[in-house]
């Protein structure tokens, strides 16, 4: 199976191929995008597939090779990305693509109906609205109202550790996180596939659900990753939290009778402390268990809402929640991977 980077590149190419958020009006479009990114050589190599028109003298004709536009874009993205080895050049290319986006192309329908009213009447234009609000509010408006293609474009950029901000009336690319190779999703999958393939499949499902904009399934898969990875280290017949207890390096955790004592707050019950305000808190165990609760409450159990006077009050799981859970689950996997270097059963 292709790694996450390759899937994200293919999906970005698919979105660009729709020619909705990046319009290909004429033969100059991709000449400009690639030349501005320092990739004029790639334009020369693929121009016959990138140009919507061919010319016979002064006569303009439809370019039948333009049907291969997706293939050209995917090959260009993969060539520049080069398995993550040309990050700087890839950022320049994506920045050039983002620069080509017209903000008006990101919205469906009447933009005047999408814009909120100002205190005195209506905004005259989208530019007028953006001048009146902060960059943060401008980006929020774009994310909430943009067409699905733009939101999917953004989600796939996140997988490649890139993000889009809004500043001075235009979109701009920026790093999503200061990501090290240790956190690279594809490297985590390689490690899981080598040692814990079932968990690797659950992690891939989590990432794919996020890419597809499925927040609840993403967190449900994250929950499976958490319980699965710690189940590898439990004793026979125990629940997954025993594996968490066994791996945890918290002080005194080896003396706790059952991990549920920590969850219930009774782990220190029989210990006489000189200062009762300073007790064992088991911070690593608690953090990972809280993440399990988070992914359960907003994932598989998000419909199990409290009821007051006959009215249910369910949580609303957002894609931002899913991203938080996914990133923290990745951090758990990294922690486990490093912990195993010194762990002896």
Query: DSSP readout, 26-80?
Result: STHHHHHHHHHTT-HHHHHHHHHHH-SEEEETTEEEE-GGGGGHHHHHHHHHHHH
* Model pTM score: 0.70
> Where do we find the tokens 């000189």?
274
Which residues of the chain, if any, have pLDDT below 70?
Answer: 1-2, 119-121, 177-186, 265-268, 270-279
Check: CB of residue 163 under 8 Å from CB of residue 9: no
> Which pLDDT does position 272 carry in this prediction?
55
Using CB atoms within 10 Å of the CB of residue 164, give its burial: 0 to 12 exposed, 13 to 18 middle, 19+ buried: buried
Of 144, 159, 154, residue with least CA distance to 98: 154
What tens digit of pLDDT does each residue of 275-327 get? 565 667 788 999 999 999 999 999 989 888 889 999 989 889 998 899 999 99
Query: 319, exposed or middle or buried, with CB in 10 Å at 0-12, 13-18, 19+?
Result: middle
pLDDT of residue 288: 94
Candidates 100, 93, 101, 99; CA nearest to 38 is 93
Give burial (CB, 10 Å; 0-12/13-18/19+) of 80.
buried
DSSP 83: G
Q: Write down the pLDDT at residue 187.
A: 74
Q: Are strands 307-308 and 311-312 parallel, antiparallel or unpaired?
A: antiparallel
Q: Return the pLDDT at 182.
A: 53
- Closest listed residue to residue 205, CA positions, set 225, 190, 230: 225
pLDDT at 172: 93
DSSP 146: S
User: Which pLDDT belongs to residue 173?
Assistant: 92
CA torsion, points 19, 52, 163, 217, in degrees to nearest 10? 40
pLDDT for res 299:
94
Residue 232 confidence (pLDDT): 95
């Amino acid at each position: 199976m292709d790694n996450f980077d390759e899937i994200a590149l293919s999906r970005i190419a698919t979105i660009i191929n729709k020619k909705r958020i990046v319009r290909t009006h004429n033969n100059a479009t991709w000449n400009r995008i690639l030349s501005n990114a320092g990739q004029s050589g790639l334009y020369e190599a693929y121009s016959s597939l990138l140009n919507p028109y061919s010319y016979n003298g002064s006569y303009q004709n439809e370019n039948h090779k333009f049907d291969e536009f997706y293939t050209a874009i995917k090959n260009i993205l993969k060539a520049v990305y080069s398995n993550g080895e040309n990050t700087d050049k890839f950022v320049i290319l994506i920045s050039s693509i983002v620069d080509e986006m017209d903000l008006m192309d990101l919205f469906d329908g009447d933009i005047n109906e999408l814009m909120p009213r100002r205190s005195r009447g209506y905004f005259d234009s989208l530019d007028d609205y953006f001048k009146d609000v902060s960059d943060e509010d401008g980006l929020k408006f774009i994310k909430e109202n943009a067409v699905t293609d733009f939101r999917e474009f953004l989600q796939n950029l996140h997988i490649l550790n890139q993000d889009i901000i809004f500043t001075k009336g235009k979109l701009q690319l920026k790093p999503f996180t200061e990501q090290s190779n240790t956190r690279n999703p594809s490297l985590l999958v390689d490690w899981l596939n080598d040692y814990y393939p079932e968990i690797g499949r659950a992690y891939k499902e989590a990432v794919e659900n996020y890419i597809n904009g499925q927040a609840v399934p993403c967190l449900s898969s994250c929950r499976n990753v958490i319980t699965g990875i710690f189940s590898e280290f439990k004793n026979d017949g125990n629940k997954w939290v025993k594996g968490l207890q066994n791996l945890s390096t918290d002080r005194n955790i080896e003396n706790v009778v059952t991990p549920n004592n920590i969850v219930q707050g009774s782990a220190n019950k029989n210990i006489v402390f000189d200062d009762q305000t300073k007790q064992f808190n088991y911070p690593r165990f608690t953090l990972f268990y809280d993440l399990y609760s988070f992914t359960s409450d907003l994932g598989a159990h998000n419909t199990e809402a409290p009821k007051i006077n006959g009215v249910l009050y369910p949580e609303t799981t957002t894609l931002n929640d899913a991203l938080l859970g996914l990133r923290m689950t990745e951090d758990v996997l990294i922690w486990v991977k490093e912990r195993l270097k010194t762990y002896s059963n």
